[in-house]
Amino acid sequence: MDNTGLVGIVSIAVAGLTIAIGSIGPAIGEAMAVSRALSAMAQQPDEANTITRTLFVSLAMIESTAIYCFVVSMILIFANPFWDYFVKKAGG
């Protein structure tokens, strides 16, 4: 197998691992945040609006980690910076 094929295989494998591992943390974090927010709203129903607003901001911040992992995996698959280098080295 030549270097170009190896770069393609490794890029796809790393992109898959990036999505797999990079989505576990945000999923657990979002579940914990929602759980604690619902618990807080059950204890203090008068503060539900403030808790909800803070929850949505924190969920957006947590979700940004998963989005960054998705962007990195798309770069590895479709705009790999190493791909052009190895194609030029191979003479293709």
Q: Could you read off the pLDDT of 16-44 as tens digits, one per residue?
A: 999 999 999 999 999 999 999 999 999 99
d(CA 22, CA 6): 23
Beta strands in 1-92 (DSSP E): none
Domains and CATH numbers, the chain: 3-90 (1.20.20.10)
The pLDDT-based confidence of 1 (bands split at 50, 70, 90) is low
Q: Is the pLDDT of residue 11 over 90?
A: no
pTM, to two decimals: 0.73
Pairwise CA distance, residues 56 & 62, whole Å: 10
